[in-house]
Amino acid sequence: MKIRHPEKENKPINPIKKKPDWIRSKLSNSKEFFLTKTIVNNNNLVTVCQEANCPNITECWSKRHATFMIMGDTCTRACAFCDVKTGVPGKLDPLEPVKIAEAVKKLNLRHVVITSVDRDDLEDGGSNHFFEVINQIRKINSNTTVEVLTPDFLRKGDAYKKVLEAKPDVFNHNIETVPSLYLKVRPGSRYFASLELLKNAKRFDNNIFTKSGIMLGLGENRDEILQVMDDLRAADVDFLTIGQYLQPSVKHHPLQKYYTPKEFDDYGTIAKAKGFLLVSSTPLTRSSYHADEDFAKLKQNRINNN
């Protein structure tokens, strides 16, 4: 069997800490879960729910919610926290935009999240593929709002603008961690480049909501967490997600701490006070967790206030 993370084979072993009770997720045998699984499999689609070993897959798929991961299942980066397979990716599937659009229709999604692996091998980082996926979704799902969770398009110039030209409702790029941990946790990325991407996205189209997320438990401290919030607000980021880092294997970056639900509540309260329009801060929060419900609430609030 092919090794998922060949770059981590010679890394030291970091024992995984036992999960506290509030981290554990439940299994499900619901019909909706298997319907979602069938639609994903029959269309030969990739989801971040599966590839990143998301703890919320049972809950989300039981509601017919799935986050589609485009451009293959193999990433060109080697982030120390991530469980997505790394290596040399294959060619893009020109039919993927249509397959995604049809799956969205079958699942009757009112809000869909599209993410991707990093594709540093492509001249545009995959921005045109994002553009095609968004447009195909809109062709047959006119009432579905679209959220994209993109790579940083590092060293790809203005390639990110192609994604924004398709006018997604939400443009998300995760900052992931504090700057002091980037060389260990995200060695192929740059903290200030990610901030600049978010800032430029808002400048390109002020009507598109911007979003970012951070994981806790990698070794950051409180002051660093608050500084990241301030940096994101300075970049005019609208939405923030804060979740617990869960160590995928003994070869991944070591988990330093499990934060309590109260600590997540406290950080969520601080984030709201700093001006984020939407904040999700719980141990099991992930970028697309409850994204549809949160976005629906925001739209309704805006209607009520007008």
Q: Kindly give the confidence (pLDDT) of every residue in the chain, 306 residues in length, as a single tens digit, with 9 standing for 90 and above.
A: 467 888 888 888 999 999 998 887 665 556 766 666 676 667 666 665 554 555 556 666 566 566 788 999 899 998 999 888 899 999 999 999 999 999 888 888 888 889 999 999 999 999 999 999 999 999 999 999 999 999 999 999 999 999 999 999 999 999 999 999 999 999 999 999 999 999 999 999 999 999 999 999 999 999 999 999 999 999 999 999 999 999 989 999 999 999 999 999 999 999 999 999 999 999 988 876 555 666 666 665 655 665
Q: 57 and 50 in contact (C-beta within 8 Å)?
A: yes
Q: What is the distance between the alpha carbons of residues 117 and 68, in angstroms, rounded to a whole number? A: 11
Of 100, 107, 185, 179, nearest in space to 139 by CA: 100
Residue ranges and CATH numbers for the domains of the chain are: 25-305 (3.20.20.70)
Q: 208 and 178 in contact (C-beta within 8 Å)?
A: no
For residue 188 the two structure tokens come to: 């192929």
What pTM did the predictor assign?
0.89
Residue 93 is inside which H or E element, if any?
none
For residue 115 the two structure tokens come to: 């993410």
Alpha helices per DSSP H over 186-275: 191-204, 222-234, 261-273
| Residue whose entry in the numeric block shows the structure tokens 């990241």 | 228
Which amino acid type is present at position 135?
N
